[in-house]
């Protein structure tokens, strides 16, 4: 049995005349114990999908189950076994760390002691501040407390909606370590994120764009599907370089990527020398040109342009 | 049950950590009850009087000294002509003109009757009405005095007259505060019941904690009870403070049973919390809730019989007061405190408010959705 199944879910917002498809015929499966990433930019439909799966939102059509229970008919059973951390996870600012945790334990009909084992590793980090009001915690600590609150009733499926948005790089890394540890405990985790670099940390990812899933696979396989050669290029004049490469007759696409520009050519047969001579002809200096390994972001951009047309 | 107890504990913790709520529950009754009854006063005093005396006789002087000695009027203008007096009204120096025609005394003595002109600035309706009525009363009194004066001369046709004396039941001294304070107490309870509950739930929406509560298996009824009970208790605390203030500051001792007031307040608060809950299910932000709350409060207050008598409202407005819990409570409060009414007398009011409580709360619970 899968932790989550989604079949042909459609959700529209707005008026009947001009509906906006937040989710346009989405289907996916998440296995038990999997760390599944939903990757996509803002407005891709990630939150709508999570809200449907956590029984907060009704889909217009399609079916979905969580832990084997139907999200519409058996929503009560689901509410007992999912943990949900909304993008804007909120704690009671005027209650202390411990009081917040106790509150969420109580509304799930359990106690901190009953599931302390599960949250121990995370809670131990914020325990020194347990009498502090939640409003006075730092961002990273708030997020840890939020995760504890979402876990306190030992959910079998955990939904994390953009948990790392607005969190610093160190805390983000720590957070993903925590997720890996939770996976070891047998909890299935669905996590959404707009950060492509986090995709590589998931077992499988779904790449979403404008309410559609473009690809579902393990990060490695998604990268494997990227068969074209990709070059990374830099020179002294980066902006002119980008324009020139986009003008280049062999270029399929070229975009800025950190310190380099990533260049994909129309056919893989083109040699390094050819590109070099083109750039030298345009009198670029300090040219660095090498074959680069594509990552998820490159795949995402590739998929976006191929499905977008 | 355990869940509910914990919810209550959490709610009270938050209340005690929120100075604004504590202040409004504990201090507001003091301030409102100490300040409001003095300001919201129907008695019209200091009506500015302008006199145009063309007669300058002993009778006209006698009349002027009589009217100025009552305390209701303040002689601010003494004009030679009616037009001049009008100017005083236009520049707000006077509210009322009394013009005594030339030959006032002569005619009174000779013809046994005389005329006087009374003109009132009616921009402020209440002041005009009452000021005019006072003046007419004083003139009638003056008239009688003169008759009595003449009757001391032996006369055959002493005019037989019916003298009217009235006594004010339940509030014999017509003490305005006895009448207002119980009513103001009701408005206080109304504010706490409607606003605090509505804002509290909407706040959970605003900060987003309601999302987490919605995905939890907690029952809708438990959550709502957990929200309503604290404010119900706070309302009763406010009522207690208010009753103490009116007892020790205004010496208003309820003639009727205080327990009956509490019984009614318990049901009344239930109805108002229902209204607050209902507002919170419609509003997404505290600003929205505040505006809707104010709108509802205005209707409750203006059609509640605190300032204006419900009996003098038009028929359609009377119908609205039938679904206004505030109107029932203000009436019951006055009945119990001033008249000493018992349970039998307020039974109908109690049942009506109970009915309203059921309607508002069921509507709110029906409208509160854990999913959209």
Q: Average pLDDT in the A107-114 region?
A: 87
Residues B98 and B194 in one domain: no
Domain boundary among B150, B183, B201: B150
Instruction: Let me know if residue B58 belongs to a domain.
Output: yes
- Sign of the CA dihedral A162, A165, A168, A169? positive
In the predicted structure, residue A309 carries a pLDDT above the cut 50? no
Q: Least CA distance to B213: which residue of chain A?
A: A107
Residue (of A60, A65, A72, A78) closest to A211 by Cα position: A60
CB contact under 8 A, A90 and B370: no
Residue B350's pLDDT is what? 93
> Has residue B165 been placed in a domain?
no
Cα(A87)–Cα(A55) distance, integer angstroms: 16
Q: Which member of A82, A90, A106 has the closest CB to residue B215?
A: A82
Report d(CA A194, CA A205) in Å as an integer. Answer: 12
Contact list in A for residue B214 (CB cut-off 8 A) is 56
Tell me the ipTM for this assembly: 0.75
Helix locations, A85-218, DSSP H: 97-107, 116-126, 139-151, 169-184
Contact: B217, A76; criterion CB under 8 Å? yes
In B64-93, the residues whose Cβ lies within 8 Å of chain A are none
Residue with tokens 């921009």: B123
**Domain span including residue B74:** 47-150
Model-level pTM? 0.75
Residue of B nearest to A149 (CA): B212
Q: Are residues B93 and B31 in the same domain?
A: no
How many residue pairs from chains A and B have C-beta atoms closer than 8 A? 73
- State how far residue B219 is from chain A, nearest Cα, in angstroms: 9
Q: Which residues of B touch A104 (CB under 8 A)?
A: 212, 216
Q: In this structure, is residue B166 part of a structural domain?
A: no
The pLDDT tens digits of the residues spanning A248-289 come to 877 888 888 888 888 888 777 777 788 888 888 888 888 888
Phi, psi of B246, rounded to the nearest 5 degrees? -70, -30
B3, B17, B214 member nearest A56 (Cβ): B214
Asked whether residue B291 is assigned to any structural domain, the reply reads yes
Same domain? B145 vs B82: yes
pLDDT of res. B260: 92
10-residue mean pLDDT profile of chain B (372 residues): values are 85 86 80 77 76 86 86 84 86 86 83 81 80 84 78 56 68 69 85 86 87 85 88 90 87 85 93 92 89 89 80 84 90 87 89 94 83 61
Residues of B in contact with A84 (CB under 8 A): 211-212, 215
Per residue in A123-181, pLDDT tens? 888 889 889 988 888 878 888 888 899 888 889 999 998 888 877 888 888 888 888 88
Q: Is B2 touching A (CB cutoff 8 A)?
A: yes
- Contacting residues of B for A150, CB less than 8 Å apart: 212
Closest partner residue to B14 (CB to CB) among A89, A94, A108 is A94
> What's the CA gap between B2 and B8, in Å, rounded?
10
Same domain, B203 and B119: no
B161: in domain: no
Residues of B in contact with A76 (CB under 8 A): 217
**pLDDT at residue B188 in the model:** 85
Q: Is the pLDDT of residue A87 over 80?
A: no
Q: How far is A48 from chain B (nearest CA, A)?
A: 11
Chain A residues lying within 8 Å of B14, measured CB to CB: 92, 94-95
Residues B260 and B113 grouped into a single domain:
no
My answer on whether B224 and B327 are in the same domain is: yes
* Residues in contact with A298: Cβ distance below 8 Å, sequence separation at least 6, in sequence order: A226, A230, A257, A262, A264
Cβ contacts (< 8 Å) between B227 and chain A: which residues? none
Kindly state whether residues B208 and B319 are assigned to the same domain.
Answer: yes
| A136: chain B residues, CB-CB within 8 Å | none
What is the structure's pLDDT at B271? Answer: 93
Chain B: closest CA distance from residue A259 (Å): 39
pLDDT in tens, A280-298: 888 888 888 888 888 888 8
Nearest to A90 among B3, B10, B208 (CB): B208
Last residue of a domain, one of B91, B115, B150: B150
Same domain assignment for residues B246 and B323 = yes
CATH number of the domain to which B105 belongs:
3.40.1710.10
Residue B6 at interface with chain A, using a CB cutoff of 8 Å: yes
- Determine whether the interchain pair A107/B218 forms a contact, defined as Cβ–Cβ distance below 8 Å: yes
- Residue that finishes a domain, picked among B135, B150, B165: B150
Judged by CB atoms closer than 8 Å, whether chains meet at B211 and A80 is answered as no
Same-domain check for residues B86 and B106: yes
Q: Is B263 part of any domain?
A: yes
Q: Strands (DSSP E) along A218-308, which ranges? A: 230-234, 251-257, 260-265, 288-292
Give the closest residue to A158 by CA, choosing from A76, A41, A59, A35. A35
Hey, are the CB atoms on B371 and A75 less than 8 Å from each other? yes
Q: Are residues B59 and B203 in the same domain?
A: no
My answer on whether B213 and B359 are in the same domain is yes
Of A187, A123, A195, A191, give the one whose Cα is nearest residue A166.
A195
Q: Total structural domains in chain B?
A: 2
Cross-chain residue pair B14–A91, CB shorter than 8 Å: no
Query: Are residue B193 and residue B239 in the same domain, yes or no?
Result: yes
Write out B314-357 in H/E/C secondary structure.
CHHHHHHHHCCHHHHHHHHHHHHHHHCCCHHHHHHHHHHHHHHH
Residue B2 included in any domain: no
Domain annotation covers residue B223 = yes
């Amino acid at each position: 049995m899968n932790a989550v199944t989604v079949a042909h879910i459609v959700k529209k917002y707005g008026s009947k005349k001009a509906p906006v498809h937040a989710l346009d015929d989405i289907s996916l499966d998440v296995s038990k114990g999997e760390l599944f990433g939903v990757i996509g930019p803002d407005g891709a439909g990630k939150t709508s999908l999570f809200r449907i799966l956590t029984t907060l939102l009704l889909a217009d059509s399609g079916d979905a189950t969580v832990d084997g229970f139907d999200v519409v008919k058996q929503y009560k059973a689901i509410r007992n076994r999912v943990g949900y951390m909304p993008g804007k996870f909120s704690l009671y600012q005027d209650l202390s760390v411990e009081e917040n945790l106790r509150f969420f334990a109580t509304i799930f009909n359990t106690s901190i002691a009953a599931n302390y084992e599960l949250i121990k590793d995370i809670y131990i980090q914020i325990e020194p501040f347990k009498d502090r009001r939640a409003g006075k915690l730092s961002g990273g600590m708030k997020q840890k407390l939020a995760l504890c609150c979402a876990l306190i009733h030992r959910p079998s499926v955990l939904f994390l909606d953009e948990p790392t948005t607005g969190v610093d790089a160190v805390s983000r890394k720590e957070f993903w370590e925590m997720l890996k540890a939770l996976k070891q405990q047998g909890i299935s985790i669905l996590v959404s994120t707009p950060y492509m670099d986090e995709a590589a940390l998931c077992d499988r990812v779904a790449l979403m764009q404008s309410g559609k899933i473009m690809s579902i696979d393990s990060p490695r396989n998604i990268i494997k599907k990227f068969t074209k050669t990709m070059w990374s290029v830099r020179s002294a004049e980066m902006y002119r370089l980008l324009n020139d490469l986009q003008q280049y007759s062999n270029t399929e696409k070229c975009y800025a990527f950190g310190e380099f520009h990533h260049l994909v050519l129309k056919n893989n047969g083109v040699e390094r020398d050819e590109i070099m001579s083109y750039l030298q002809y345009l009198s670029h200096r300090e040219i660095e040109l090498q074959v680069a390994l594509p990552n998820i972001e490159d795949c995402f951009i590739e998929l976006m342009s191929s499905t977008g047309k | 049950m355990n869940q509910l107890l914990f919810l209550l504990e959490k709610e009270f913790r938050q209340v005690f950590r929120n100075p604004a709520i504590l202040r409004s529950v504990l201090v507001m009754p003091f301030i409102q009850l100490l300040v409001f009854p003095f300001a919201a006063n129907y008695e019209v005093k200091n009506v500015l009087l302008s006199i145009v005396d063309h007669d300058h006789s002993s009778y006209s002087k006698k009349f002027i000294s009589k009217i100025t000695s009552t305390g209701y009027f303040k002689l601010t203008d003494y004009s030679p002509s009616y037009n001049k007096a009008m100017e005083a009204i236009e520049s707000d120096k006077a509210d009322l003109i009394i013009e005594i025609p030339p030959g006032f005394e002569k005619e009174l003595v000779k013809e046994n009757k005389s005329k006087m002109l009374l003109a009132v600035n009616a921009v402020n309706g209440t002041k005009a009405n009452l000021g005019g009525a006072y003046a007419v009363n004083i003139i009638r009194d003056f008239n009688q005095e003169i008759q009595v004066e003449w009757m001391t001369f032996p006369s055959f046709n002493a005019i037989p007259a019916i003298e009217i004396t009235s006594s004010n039941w339940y509030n014999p001294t017509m003490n305005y505060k006895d009448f207002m304070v119980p009513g103001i107490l009701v408005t206080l309870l109304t504010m706490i019941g409607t606003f605090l509950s509505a804002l509290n739930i909407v706040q959970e929406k605003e900060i987003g904690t309601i999302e987490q509560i919605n995905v939890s298996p907690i029952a809708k009824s438990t959550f709502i009870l957990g929200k309503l009970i604290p404010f119900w208790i706070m309302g009763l605390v406010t009522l207690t403070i208010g009753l103490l203030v009116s007892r020790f500051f205004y010496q208003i001792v309820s003639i009727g049973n205080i327990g009956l007031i509490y019984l009614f307040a318990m049901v009344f608060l239930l109805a108002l919390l229902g209204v607050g809950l209902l507002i919170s299910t419609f509003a997404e932000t505290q600003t929205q809730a505040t505006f809707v709350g104010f709108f509802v409060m205005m209707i409750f207050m203006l059609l509640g019989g605190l300032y204006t008598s419900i009996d003098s409202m038009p028929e359609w407005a009377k119908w609205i007061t039938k679904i206004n819990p505030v109107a029932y409570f203000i009436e019951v409060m006055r009945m119990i405190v001033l008249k000493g009414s018992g349970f039998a007398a307020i039974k109908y009011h109690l049942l009506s408010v109970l009915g309203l409580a059921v309607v508002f709360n069921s509507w709110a619970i029906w409208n509160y959705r854990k999913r959209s």
